[in-house]
Structure 1
Amino acid sequence: MKSLNSKTVVVTGSSRGIGLAIAKACAVAGANVVLSSRNINNLWKPINELRGRGFSVQGFQADVKNEAEISSLFESSKLAFGKIDVWINNAGVAGGYRTLQSMTPTEIQEVINTNLMGTLYACRLMIPYFVSMGGGTIINIGGRGGHGNPSPFQAPYAASKAAITSLTRSLAAENKGKPVSINCFFPGMVETDIYKDVMTCPETDSKMGLMPILLKAFATPIDRVQKVTLEMCCFRPGKITGKCYSAERPERFLRALRALPDFLSYSKTKPR
């Protein structure tokens, strides 16, 4: 286990799922951890759980698409622990599994503003802070479509994640030589509650029956996500920057082979 003793790590969108798993791993590694969520009530359970285990944790409300709330999270985190060493832009909205035309303009804006604008606002704030403090690390969470690959039925989400990859590399180049690491992390498909009650449309309703099989075949183990994130948190600021890392491993193809009977069974029984 990598050590983050005396470090302070802020994880946006960390009341559940990948964000909470990363926050827990950082706490176990010795960090002071700041959780955040759009709804403060969603934070009490994980905060109490982690504090009950003796970890140093605080939690603050923050809707990342609101620049003022990111600034408030920044100031509250500094006040709580004196400094910030790592900022992880994890908060995100998927938008379901739908065609573009089935989404409202408001829903599309929610995806883009949360995933992209929230990351932009945070980076704009954190880069000069880390430079002034002598070093720091920003980790942007990537996702499906982040490498520019086609991502049907998730076009706004994929566009936002492709932008995150470009943003990460651009900001790293822009700040080359400074004591700041700005990297991107692709956790892959991880089995969390984000896959429950996924919004669909008529074109995708029948496809959702395949989701449990896809998760069985390709899901990244959450402990692998935690391990890679911890390694990235421990980079010496400025030494490694502008890189994209993935938690996916070749063994996922072995899991896919084990799930083959399920795929074949589904193909015979799926709705026509």
Structure 2
Amino acid sequence: MDNIKAKFDLKGKVAVVTGSSKGIGKSIAGGLAENGAKVVVSSRKQEAVDVVADEFKADGLDAVGIQCHIGDSEQRQALIAKTLEQYGSIDILVNNAAINPYYGPLEGSDEKVFDKIMEVNVKAPWVLSNLALPHMIERGGGSIINISSVEGLRPGFGLGLYSATKSALIMLTKNQAKEWGRYGVRANVLCPGLIKTKFSEGLWTNENLVSGFKKALPLNRIAAPDEMAGIVMLLASDAGSYMTGGVYVADGGYMISG
């Protein structure tokens, strides 16, 4: 029998994780590094990514911090260029960074907000994946993991614009998988439920909201960021070598509740 555990080994692989100075992104970056990958920690502020990269290095992991505001075209290109300078290749791209600048009804927002959220949540993952693609092809394959949300699968109240971007990201992932499979490049999407992160603080700090939400969930609790990392380890590694175009939900049962 093949050694299944060895298939999770990412030694010799280079991974870029956007939005990885905290929350889900940091947990994912840490997990990839623990499994042997050389990891690029990336977010908007250099100081923030340096802190995380130094933390990883202190644990004997291979990591570097590269600042990138993914809403900026030049910075997107620089992220890929600097990764190649540092590590010489790219095998894994985790498009995790996202924004939600507006909470409220669809008609209550404006075009500038719409453009901003689309730029960061949809256009940036598309562009970064396109930039990484030739380097993955050169390596004979790669893995793209886009972080969407259950909000991209099921409509709620107040998150309509965010939901639209996350739904678009799911379809982008499926098209990446369909078009790039011939190159050995796999693309999958993870849809987390409510996670206790700074990003979703406005939701999980509201006791009334959380109480009702947890009661409706089969697992009856909100997730910790580390609970998203395991599925990314699978999708990034040879253990998930036949997985592409998939939409994977980690939501405590939200999609089957109520």
TM-score range, shorter chain: 0.7 to 0.9
1:42 counterpart letter in structure 2? A
1:249 Cα deviation after fit? 4.8
* CA pair 215-31 structure 1, distance change in 2 beyond 3 A: farther
Contact 1:178–1:238 under 8 Å retained in 2:
no
Gaps of 5+ in 1: 199-206, 257-272
Residue deviations 1:40-76 (CA, integer Å, cap 9, x gap): 2222321221121121110111111223211111111
The aligned length equals 244
* Structure 2 residue aligned with 1:210: 208
Q: Between Structure 1 and Structure 2, whose CA radius of gyration is higher? A: 1
* Structure 2 residue aligned with 1:222: 225
* CA pair 218-243 structure 1, distance change in 2 beyond 3 A: same
* CA pair 236-3 structure 1, distance change in 2 beyond 3 A: closer
1:236 Cα deviation after fit? 6.9
Match for residue 89 of structure 1 among 62, 71, 95: 95
TM-score, scaled relative to structure 1: 0.81
1:178 Cα deviation after fit? 2.0
1:7 counterpart letter in structure 2? K
2:155 counterpart letter in structure 1? P
Equivalent residues in 2 for 1:51-62 (5 A)?
51-62=57-68
Residue deviations 1:17-53 (CA, integer Å, cap 9, x gap): 1101101111111111101111222223212211211
Match for residue 41 of structure 1 among 47, 59, 65: 47
Matched residues, percent identical? 27
Contact 1:34–1:77 under 8 Å retained in 2:
yes
1:139 Cα deviation after fit? 0.5
Equivalent residues in 2 for 1:137-176 (5 A)?
137-147=143-153, 149-176=154-181
Equivalent residues in 2 for 1:1-272 (5 A)?
2-147=8-153, 149-197=154-202, 208-213=206-211, 214=213, 217-235=220-238, 239-250=242-253
SS, match of residue 177 in structure 1: helix
SS, match of residue 4 in structure 1: coil
- Looking at structure 2, the residues matched to 39 and 57 of structure 1 have their Cα atoms a distance apart, in angstroms, of 16
Contact 1:111–1:160 under 8 Å retained in 2:
yes
TM-score, scaled relative to structure 2: 0.85
- Looking at structure 2, the residues matched to 169 and 220 of structure 1 have their Cα atoms a distance apart, in angstroms, of 26
- Looking at structure 2, the residues matched to 47 and 129 of structure 1 have their Cα atoms a distance apart, in angstroms, of 23
Contact 1:144–1:151 under 8 Å retained in 2:
no
- Looking at structure 1, the residues matched to 148 and 238 of structure 2 have their Cα atoms a distance apart, in angstroms, of 18
SS, match of residue 181 in structure 1: strand
Deviates more, 1:171-180 or 1:112-121: 171-180
1:181 counterpart letter in structure 2? R
